[in-house]
Amino acid sequence: MDAREIYEFWLTDSYFDEKTKEELRGIAEDEKEIEERFYKELEFGTGGLRGIIGAGTNRMNIYTVRKATQGLANFIIREQAQEKGVAIAYDSRNMSPEFAEEAALCLAANGIRAYIFPSLRPTPMLSFALRKLGCIAGIVVTASHNPPEYNGYKVYWEDGAQITFPKDKEIIGEVKGITDYAQVKTTSREEALKTGFYQVIGEEIDDAYMEELKKLVLHPEIIQQEAKALKIVYTPLHGTGNIPVRRVLRELGFANVYVVKEQELPDGSFPTVSYPNPEDKNAFVLALGLAKEVDADIVLATDPDADRLGVYAKDTKTGEYVSFTGNMSGMLILEYQLSQRKELGLLPENGAVVTTIVSGKMAREAAKAYQVELIETLTGFKYIGEQIKFFEQNQEKEYIFGYEESYGCLVGTHARDKDAVVAVMALCEAAAYYKSQGMTLCDKMQELFEVYRYYKEDLCTVTLKGQDGAKQIDAMMEKLRLDVPKSIGCMRVTQFRDYREDVKIDMASGKKTGTGLPKSNVLYFELENSAWCCVRPSGTEPKIKFYVGVKGKSEEDAKALMQNITEDVTRCTVGLQMHS
C-alpha cells in the first residue's frame, strides 16, 4: 500500500482509537504531511525508536510503541528469558508516561513481568535498576535532548547497556516481522496487577542507586572541607535530573546549590528553551543569569533524561563564565580520576579508559602519561557499555572511565550508559579538590592544555528533514565515499576509513586493511599533524554530522588550524548538498 492507502486504513480500521482518527482527519487535504507520516514505518534502529509524536506509521504513538514492545517480547520469549522480567523508566517528555504504560501492558499481556517506575527517572537509573533486579531487558521512554515534538524508546539488555550486535539486529527482525497491528497483545492495568505481571518499583531502587554513587567519591574529606565554599548553579532543563542531582549533592555535603527555578519542574514542552540540550549555549541563559547573581563557581545543566551534562565555570582572572565542551569536561573528570587514583594507590595496572572515534584525542595523551590503555569505539555510549561487559567476561582489563564528545560520561560500573548524575558528583568533587589547591576548573583546563598540548574539536551539522532530507544525506555520504578528498583545509589526508565497508586505506601506499570495529555508516579521515575529520548521519535527528579535531602548538595555533578546516568543511557541505 502507498502512503495514502495506509492513511485511509488508519482512518477506517476499528483498531485505531477515535482521538487518532480525529488527528488524521485534520490533515486530509495535506498530501505532503500524509506522505511524511505514512511513507514508511518508524524505524526501530539499533537503539530503538525516535521520532515526532503524532498519528501515523512514521510517528511516535501508542501503536508504534506497542509494536516495538511486541517485537521485544517475541525475542525474549524466543530466548526463554521471560521469567526475568523487564524494567521500564520514562522522562519528562510529552506522552512519556503513556508510552511507558503501553509498553508495560504489552509485556504483561505476553506473560513478561514489567517493573515500572511510578514517576520520571533518569536513563542511567533504568540501566542500574535492570541490573539490580536481574531483568533480561530494560526500556526507557525518552528522546534525550531532541526538540519538544520528539519522543523515543530505547532498549537495554541484561548487562545494563543498550542493545548491540547481534541482538539489536535480531530484535529489529522481530519488530519488522509484525506486519499486522492486530498481532500486538495488550491488557488492562487491573488485569496486569492481578496476575502479578505489573510491578511498581521506586524508593528502594533510588536509595540503592545513591549508595552506589557515593561509594565512588575519592576524597570525601576534601568535599567536607570545601563544600560550603563552592557555589553551584544547576538546571535540570525541565527534565528528570532535579531530584537525584540535588539529593546526591546534598548527601555529600554541598550546601550552596542554586537551582534555576524557571527550569526546575518537569515540562515536556520545555517552555524556557527551544532545544533542551546542554550542548546548546542558549540552554544556559537563565542559569548564567543566576550564576552572576550568586557569584557561582560552576554552572551545570542536565538534559531531559539526565544522561548528558553541560558545564560552565567562572574564570576568576576575567570574571567571565567559560563554556566547556564535552571533551573538555570529560578530560577534567578523567584527569582527576587518574591522578587521584594513582595518588591513593587505586589505579589498576590493567586499567582502561574508553572513548569513541569522534571524541577528543587529548585522552590518548593522558592515558599514555598514566600508563593505562585507551580503547576507542564507534559513536554511541552503548559501545562503551559493551566494553565494560567484555572486561568483566575476559578479566583482562579494569574499567576506569568512559566518555564521549556529546557531553556523556560514566564513572563506575553501576550503570552501563552515560550518567549525568554521577558526572555532576564527580565534577563537583574535582572542583572542590582543585579549589583546595587554589585552582578553578578553568585553571586546571589551561594546565591540561599546556601539559598535553592544545587539542581543539568542533562539530558542523547540516539538518535535512523528512523523506527528501534522508535521501540527500544518503547521497552526501555516497559522494564522499566514492570521491575521497586528498586534503581537508590545509591538512593532507593520510588515512581513510569506511566503517560500513570495513576498510582502512593508507593514502600514500594504497594498502587496505580492516577497521577492527563493527560495520557502521561512518567515514573517517585521518589528517597530518594529528588532525582528523569524521562524517556520519545522526542516529537520532535528521542531520549529517562533520566532526573535526586539531592539535596546536599554542591556543592561537589550534584556533587557526580549526578555522581553516571548518571553513573547508562548510564549503564541502554546500557542494555535497548541490550534488545530492
Lookup: cell for 182: 492486530
- DSSP letters, 111-164, are T--EEE-SS---HHHHHHHHHHHT-SEEEEE--TTS-TTEEEEEEEETTSSBP-
| Options 96, 144, 329, 580, the catalytic residue | 144
Residues with Cβ within 8 Å of 574's Cβ and at least 6 positions away in sequence, in order, are none
Task: Locate 416 and state its grid cell.
Answer: 552501563
Which residues 6+ apart lie within 8 Å of 568 measured at CB? 488, 489
38: how many CB neighbours lie within 10 A of its CB? 24
**Buried/exposed code over 244-275 (b: 16+ C-beta within 10 A; e: otherwise):** bbbbbbeebebeebbbbeebeebbbebebbee
Is-catalytic flag, 144? yes
Query: What's the number of CA atoms in the CB half-sphere (13 Å) around residue 185?
Result: 15
**Which residue in this structure is represented by grid cell 525475542?**
75
Q: Does residue 166 have a cis bond before it (omega within 30 degrees)?
A: yes
Contact between 197 and 113 under an 8 Å Cβ cutoff? The reply is yes
Q: Which residue type is seen at 291? A: A
Q: What is the DSSP letter of 523?
A: E
3-state DSSP call for residue 174? Answer: helix
Q: 507, 519 in Cβ contact below 8 A?
A: no
Report how far Cα 73 is from the mean position of its chain's Cα atoms.
25
In the chain the first and final C-alpha atoms are separated, in Å, by: 28
Place of cell 483498531: 15
**3 state SS of 230:** coil
What are the Cα distances from residue 251, in Å, to 8, 125, 247, 260, 469?
56, 18, 6, 20, 48
For residue 534, what is the enclosing H or E element? Answer: strand 532-537
Nearest-angstrom CA–CA distance, 302 and 125: 14
On the CB side of 462, CA atoms within 13 Å amount to 23
Count the neighbouring beta carbons within 10 Å of the beta carbon of residue 342.
Answer: 15
Residue 6 · residue 57 · CB < 8 Å: yes
User: Would you say 332 and 403 are in contact if contact means Cβ atoms under 8 Å apart?
Assistant: no
Encoded amino acid at 36, one letter: E
| DSSP collapsed to 3 states, 263-276 | HCCCCCCCCCCCCC
* Residues paired with residue 157 on neighbouring β-strands, in sequence order: 137
Partners of 527 in the beta sheet?
493
457/499 Cα distance (integer angstroms): 21
Query: Where in the sequence numbering do the catalytic residues fall?
Result: 144
